[in-house]
């Protein structure tokens, strides 16, 4: 009987020991973890007051808040056809920027942003999307005017500035949608003035503003602003082997924009003063040893036709050269751009005096510039 009691006591002792080990396994880590957390408690760091913003920061913020509601995001679509089903559907073609011109819903952007598009969608600052129609384009100046239907109260305008008074070193801001990232602002300075860039049609655009403000694909058509938040140009081109910003961007000056946009809204096209001729490319003039611009064709019912200017004629294997324009109002003409630049700054109705080389003779002929379609 003693043996039985002894065995019962040992069994009870073993159970008690097992229970103690189990409790130690469960409780010790919990107690140790709690003690560790209390001992090593980490609080969030307090915020250090920064003080007032710098004057240049306040300026940038003010410009952005004032002008960003006027900047729009432009998406263009084109039509494509499934080669199997023959179904026609729309696909995205490209994106760009633009800005509200007036309370009638006119939007200004670059021509290359909307070129060859079948549909144009404009997203306003608040996120509203609407279709846009093309009012008119000026490919030679890389400018296009669109029109949307929107409540007048939702349209905020940018003040018009003056690019003629700009100085190298002035602060400038660009707002646009680079790489589809809407409402993006970059800043820089006016790096140079009076640059000449080439439009998509090969025509020169004079007076371009060069800036080091970061301008990337998608910024095209967006505004370039001065430190007062005034429009001084349209961001239109970058100089970059990689296609991304390299610190050299160009903007069309606001004086050109104001004149061209007004004409497009009123007439739907640019009124182009001219004399009614086609001229040879510079490389052809150089190959022929011509110092000036060769007239290749004279169009009927134009000032050039009335003045009996001569065009170039091909007779069999013989090339009979036409008149060569060597000056306009006393200004020497060495290449095609010289002639384009003079006519760009003229108006319909102006009278010009052409210096013409005909054979070995130099003639001076007065012509009145007309609207050449």
Active site residues: 112, 142, 220
In this structure, the number of other CB atoms found within 10 A of the CB of residue 64 comes to 19
- Dihedral of alpha carbons 325, 330, 333, 337, sign: negative
**Cα–Cα nearest to 77, from 129, 109, 115:** 115
What is d(CA 239, CA 204) in angstroms, rounded to the nearest whole number? Answer: 16
- Give the separation between CA 284 and CA 65, rounded to whole angstroms: 52
Distances (CA, A) of 33 to 20, 39, 174: 20, 10, 56
Backbone φ/ψ region at 129: left (φ over 0), alpha (ψ -120 to 50), beta: beta
CA 260 to chain centre: 16
Q: Determine contact, residues 265/136, Cβ cutoff 8 Å.
A: yes
Distance in angstroms (rounded) separating the CA atoms of residues 233 and 70: 14
Reduced to 3 states (helix: H, G, I; strand: E, B; else coil), residue 265 is helix
Strands 159-160 and 230-238: parallel
State how far the Cα of 281 lies from the Cα of 188, in Å rounded to an integer.
Answer: 37
Please give the angle made by the CA atoms of 312, 315 and 319, to the nearest 5 degrees: 45
């Amino acid at each position: 009987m003693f043996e039985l009691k002894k065995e019962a006591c040992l069994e009870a002792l073993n159970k008690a020991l097992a229970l103690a080990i189990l409790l130690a396994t469960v409780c010790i880590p919990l107690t140790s973890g709690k003690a560790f957390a209390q001992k090593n408690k980490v609080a969030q760091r307090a915020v250090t007051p920064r003080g007032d913003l710098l004057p240049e920061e306040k300026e940038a913020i003010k410009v952005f808040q004032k002008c960003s509601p006027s900047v729009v995001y432009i998406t263009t679509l084109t039509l494509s056809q499934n080669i199997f089903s023959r179904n026609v559907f729309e696909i995205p073609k490209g994106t760009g920027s633009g800005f509200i011109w007036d309370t009638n819903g006119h939007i200004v952007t670059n021509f290359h942003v909307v070129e060859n598009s079948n549909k144009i969608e404009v997203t306003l600052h608040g996120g509203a999307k609407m279709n846009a129609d093309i009012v008119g384009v000026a490919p030679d100046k890389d400018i296009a005017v669109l029109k949307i239907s929107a409540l007048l109260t939702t349209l905020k305008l940018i003040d018009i500035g003056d690019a003629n008074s700009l100085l190298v070193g002035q602060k400038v801001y660009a707002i646009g949608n680079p790489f589809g990232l809407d409402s993006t602002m970059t800043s820089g300075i006016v790096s140079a003035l009076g640059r000449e860039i080439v439009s998509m049609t090969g025509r020169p655009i004079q007076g371009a503003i060069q800036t080091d403000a970061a301008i990337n694909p998608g910024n095209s058509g967006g505004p370039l602003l001065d430190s007062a938040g005034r429009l001084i140009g349209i961001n239109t081109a970058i100089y970059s082997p990689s296609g991304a910003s390299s610190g050299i961007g160009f903007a069309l000056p606001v004086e050109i924009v104001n004149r061209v946009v007004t004409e497009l809204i009123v007439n739907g096209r640019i009124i182009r003063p001219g004399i009614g001729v086609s001229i040879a490319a510079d490389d052809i003039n150089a190959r022929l040893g011509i110092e000036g611009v060769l007239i290749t064709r004279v169009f009927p019912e134009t000032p050039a036709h009335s003045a009996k200017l001569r065009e170039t004629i091909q007779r069999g294997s013989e090339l009979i050269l036409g008149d060569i324009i060597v000056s306009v109002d006393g200004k020497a003409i060495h290449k095609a751009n010289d002639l384009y630049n003079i006519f760009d700054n003229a108006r319909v109705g102006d009278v010009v005096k052409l210096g013409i080389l005909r054979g070995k003779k130099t003639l001076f002929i007065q012509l009145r510039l007309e609207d050449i379609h």
